[in-house]
Structure 1
Amino acid sequence: MRYDPHRSPRVASHRRGSTLTTTFRELGILPETAEALEAVGIMSAFPIQEMTLPVALSGKDVIGQAKTGTGKTLGFGIPLLECVTVPADVEAGRAVPEKLTNAPQALVVVPTRELCQQVTNDLLTAGKVRNVRVLAIYGGRAYEPQVEALKKGVDVIVGTPGRLLDLAGQRKLDLSHVRSLVLDEADEMLDLGFLPDVERIIQLLPAKRQTMLFSATMPGAVIGLARRYMSQPTHISATSPDDAGATVANTTQRVYRAHSMDKPEMVARILQAEGRGLAMIFCRTKRTAADIADQLAQRGFASGAVHGDLGQGAREQALRAFRNGKVDVLVCTDVAARGIDVEGVTHVINYQSPEEEKTYLHRIGRTGRAGASGIAVTLVDWDDIPRWQLINKALDLGFPDPPETYSTSAHLFEELNIPAGTRGILPRTDRTRAGLSAEQVEDLGETGGRGRKSAATATPVREERPARTRTPRQRRRTRGGAA
């Protein structure tokens, strides 16, 4: 069974950019869930949510496919929360006390730590009135707090495959009571090589359960996974007639051929465009991300970095500062291309051309989310033109030969609305953000071996060597066999 939004005038009337009129209450969710969403200003559903909820709330398996930034998290999050039994349901007469348990009743598997945090926060928001206990389980943090939380009781687990298998293998995580499973961003799990781990996790779950799989794209291996572990799933694809391309229509895309030596100056000027809110800059390598974040800080911008060479505490510090507005420029590698959903991101800059078209989609998907508009700028080196042309052809973007552009080019200022005379250093009068140092680093008891970077200082942590316990052997030099 497949839902086709092109045949439904009701769904077409709620396409991106139009006024959404179908409220969550009209879709039949619990009053407590609707109350929790309304408390944070979420009233109406987006197409993927409107189409998914009636099917998922009935307990059927669902394959949900929609572009990044269209609201997939609540599309599976609300049915997931409402399948668990909590004391509030017993008090309301919807469930019997015998159904209460401290073991997890629902599981969400995600590919990255950043997405794990994002999904957990969304589920905590939607389940706040019913007091649903949601726990994030991912690597880079100490085991002990996660084990203690599991002992106290959890209703919903959101986790990355590695840490989930670790805790299940130690018998700290009991998955025998899971009624609902969600695989989020399944195509990314395929790219990262997690599908074998995901299958091992699925084999630990009860055979009778609801399974929901959500992804922006559906490669063959993901479809094969769905066929093996899902029962007659309903395939829901939410697209709109006026938004048929691979990218969302309300994201303005600009592509320029740029010289690597001039890129820092170009970026500094783009960041001073009129109407610029929060901005994200994507790089291919960890070293480039760290270097650009430092250069922007020296130019007066409140910048932070998220990349694999940082400890988990430093990564979370940068993300919190970005969400709280203390930092308005976040420089990332593709580890953050999924999972960061921050309101107010107006600009995404691809400092280096992505490796493939899927990476491009997820990078620029950080802006233009949930009906808002955004600008995506891609700077392509001369050496990267062949790679970019493959991406352009695959996505049919219409930028096969980007114009040669420098930080002084008139068309750069005109197309991106940069005030005339702007230089690559932020004026002191505009330096109003508190900066990364204003956000404290949380001590996570990070796991990792020799050379792991500490959260607070991002410098290698040296292991202490044990003191000598014996006198070293003395060697005497001999010549011709005699002392």
Structure 2
Amino acid sequence: MSPFPIQEMALPLALGGQDLIGQARTGTGKTYAFGIAMLQSIGKPRKNRKKPRGLVVVPTRELAVQVSEDLVTAAGKLGSRVLTVYGGRAYEPQVEALKAGVDVVVGTPGRLLDLVKQKHLDLSQVTSLVLDEADRMLDLGFLPDVERIFSLVPAERQTMLFSATMPGEIVALSRKYLNRPTHIRAEHESGEGEATPQVRQLVWRAHRMDKIEIVARLLQARGRGLTMVFCETKRACDMVAEQLDTRGFAVAAVHGDLGQGQREQALRAFRNGKIDVLVATDVAARGIDIDDVTHVVNYDCPTDDKTYVHRIGRTGRAGRTGIAVTFVEWEELTRWKMINNMLGLAFAEPEETYSTSPHVYAELDIPEGTKGVLPHASRSRAGLSAERIEDLGETGRVRGRGGRRRDDRERERDREREQRPARTPRQRRRLRGGKELEETAPVETSEVELVDAKAEETPAIFSPDEVKAAATEPRRTRTRRGAATSAIEQALAGAPDSPDAQETPVAQAPAAEAPAAEAPAAEAPVAQAPVAQAPVAQAPVAQAPVAQAPAPVAAEEAAPAARATRSRRSAVKAAEPASAAPAMPVAEQAPAPAVPDRREPVVQPQVQPQAEPEPSFLAPPPPAPVRREPERIIPPSPFTVIFQSPDLATDDDDIAPSAASERKQQRRQARGGGGNRRRAG
């Protein structure tokens, strides 16, 4: 049989003006079977002819572009004017072409009806009407629009329907719009919808997470040309395209969520060989004729047998051969068995397959050791970005996830880096305490900081004057020395036993008490000084060896003790015994019995807490107080407490009447309550 049987069978009848229902495999030249007859019946264009004489209705935009190109090629000698109208493009160029005059209009139902509604398109002179992919056009989705188009064209016309699959119910429906049609089937006796015999079919049961790995290795088979991968959803289409692009393949996606410019850009790049993998939904499964498509992959199992036939029909066209691989997941086995039975295939139980299965390499002729990433040496395609996006004046926004590929993003980043201004050198400023330093200011070095850190660790020698000067000096940062300064300030302000506070009462006490005691002036300081300092002499500090030494010796020993302190606060605390030391020998010369009795309440006040010296940093820390935990109250048993509901009843409470007594009381009240009155009388 000839590779173009539909043309040989349909052309004689179509040229005779008869209505046809043509059915043939994909890739057998159905477009020329009706196109040549339509152009021949219309004849050469005329200047006074503005309205179209031929109309071709197709389901998809991509198919409209392809049919228009074929008709332009067929009408090369006649010079017929062919116009393509479909959604996604601007209205103005199409309206201008219609005003200039056209002979054949090829379009989708939606845009055709829009132009008719706007009164730019007049179908009243159409003599030849063709429905390409008629089973899809007469489906429930397009049927209302197709019926409106049939109502707009004249009743006296030639109508032709062509498709690769033509179910019986579609044939019965089509007879409603055709006049005594002739049904032509250029098929073998094996049955309707038979797949192209030039296509070698492989059906594998694969896991969802491993399918992308199998596809990546399939794309590296020997002798592979252009490849189409079909997915069920738009989201899956974007995911597969992105995964293959990451693995180094020149890939593009085509589905309904993309703008028309992006869809046509991807198809042009695929036809021109700039990309070799096209991932698409079923929008590209019908009528797309591209040379050198060697492999078709059904990434998702088709929904029915007709979809399967149209998908694998993208390869093995016009007498060529091809390979079709179908992945079936475990939950899709029932659907696949129905498709297998309808088409009479031998894949009722697909073989379980993984990316490492040996039969994958053997069936597809994949070199051994091939992995799922394309080597850099094999990345020779220009990519999708090499194809220019045509400005179509799209009516909608450019949609789609992942519309830009990786090379587009890299070029855009490089362009931004080139346009970015030169970076100015950073100017550093030196600050101290929030204020900017001058350039000539000395800079602290690490040696100075080390010396300061070391000085804090060693014992310091400070005099009382230096302590007062350091307390008033502002500090830049808070350190251990700064913390000691604040403690010294508090000690100097409120300590009662500081050197300044002790000198004043010792000097003034003899003068105040001299007349009362009537003692000589030379003995006044000796006799009365111990009165004010008696508590200090009797403190526990008096038991130390320092208390029994003379005053000059005690003063000399107190000075080295002050020099041995580590901070200003310890220096002040060490100076306290030195001021009290001169009173100790005086107290020994004037014992307590020499004091008059009237002085006893004043001489011995209870000020023992002030006599205790405050511990210094050199003294060992006191032991931590023992914390006593409160006693735990543990009941003897959790079941010892027994709750008893209180008895609210008393002896004076009346017993509740029964239902019988209540009914008896009601009957008595209904009679008038006479019995009660008699009893009461």
Shorter-normalised TM range:
0.7 to 0.9
Structure 2 counterpart of 1:189? 137
Q: Does 1:413 align with 2:361?
A: yes
Structure 2 counterpart of 1:70? 28
Q: 1:426 aligns with which of 366, 374, 388?
A: 374
Counterpart residue identity of residue 105, structure 2: I
Secondary structure of the corresponding residue to residue 148 of structure 2: helix
Query: Cα–Cα, structure 1 residues 146 and 273, in superposed 2: closer, same or farther, change >3 Å?
Result: same
Q: Does 1:369 align with 2:317?
A: yes
Secondary structure of the corresponding residue to residue 208 of structure 1: coil
Q: Does 1:84 align with 2:32?
A: no
Structure 1 counterpart of 2:264? 316
1:416, 1:325 → 2: CA distance? 22
Larger relative contact order (C-alpha < 8 A, sep ≥ 6)? 1
**Is the contact made by 1:312 and 1:455 (CA closer than 8 Å) also made in structure 2?**
no
Counterpart residue identity of residue 345, structure 1: V
Bigger Cα displacement from structure 2, 47-56 vs 121-130 = 121-130
Q: Does 1:355 align with 2:298?
A: no
Secondary structure of the corresponding residue to residue 354 of structure 2: coil
Structure 1 counterpart of 2:545? none
Bigger Cα displacement from structure 2, 226-235 vs 294-303 = 226-235
Q: 1:208 aligns with which of 142, 156, 180?
A: 156
Secondary structure of the corresponding residue to residue 346 of structure 1: strand
Structure 2 counterpart of 1:234? 182
Structure 2 counterpart of 1:300? 248
Shift of 1:419: 1.3
Counterpart residue identity of residue 131, structure 1: G
Q: How do 1:133-152 and structure 2 match up within 5 A?
A: 133-152=81-100
**Is the contact made by 2:242 and 2:402 (CA closer than 8 Å) also made in structure 1?**
no
Secondary structure of the corresponding residue to residue 228 of structure 1: coil
Q: How do 1:9-408 and structure 2 match up within 5 A?
A: 12=1, 14=2, 16=3, 46-87=4-45, 101-191=49-139, 193-240=141-188, 246-408=194-356
Structure 1: give runs of 5+ residues left out of the alignment: 1-11, 17-45, 88-96, 459-483
Structure 1 counterpart of 2:512? none
Secondary structure of the corresponding residue to residue 6 of structure 2: helix
Query: Cα–Cα, structure 1 residues 350 and 114, in superposed 2: closer, same or farther, change >3 Å?
Result: same
Query: Cα–Cα, structure 1 residues 58 and 142, in superposed 2: closer, same or farther, change >3 Å?
Result: same
**Is the contact made by 1:304 and 1:329 (CA closer than 8 Å) also made in structure 2?**
yes
Shift of 1:248: 1.1
Query: Cα–Cα, structure 1 residues 439 and 187, in superposed 2: closer, same or farther, change >3 Å?
Result: same
Structure having the higher helix fraction is 2
1:370, 1:454 → 2: CA distance? 35
Query: Cα–Cα, structure 1 residues 185 and 318, in superposed 2: closer, same or farther, change >3 Å?
Result: same
Counterpart residue identity of residue 257, structure 1: R
Bigger Cα displacement from structure 2, 223-232 vs 412-421 = 223-232
Query: Cα–Cα, structure 1 residues 303 and 72, in superposed 2: closer, same or farther, change >3 Å?
Result: same
2:73, 2:248 → 1: CA distance? 35
Shift of 1:225: 3.7
Shift of 1:223: 2.1
Query: Cα–Cα, structure 1 residues 192 and 303, in superposed 2: closer, same or farther, change >3 Å?
Result: farther
Q: Aligned-pair RMSD on alpha carbons? A: 2.0
Counterpart residue identity of residue 401, structure 1: E
1:200, 1:397 → 2: CA distance? 40
1:192, 1:429 → 2: CA distance? 50
1:71, 1:426 → 2: CA distance? 36
Shift of 1:454: 10
**Is the contact made by 2:58 and 2:106 (CA closer than 8 Å) also made in structure 1?**
yes
Bigger Cα displacement from structure 2, 243-252 vs 72-81 = 243-252
Counterpart residue identity of residue 106, structure 1: G
Q: Which has the larger radius of gyration?
A: 2
**Sequence identity, in percent?**
64
Counterpart residue identity of residue 187, structure 2: T
1:442, 1:456 → 2: CA distance? 15
Between Structure 1 and Structure 2, how many residues are aligned? 405
1:302, 1:59 → 2: CA distance? 47
1:266, 1:157 → 2: CA distance? 43
Query: Cα–Cα, structure 1 residues 454 and 362, in superposed 2: closer, same or farther, change >3 Å?
Result: same
Secondary structure of the corresponding residue to residue 261 of structure 1: helix
1:70, 1:350 → 2: CA distance? 22
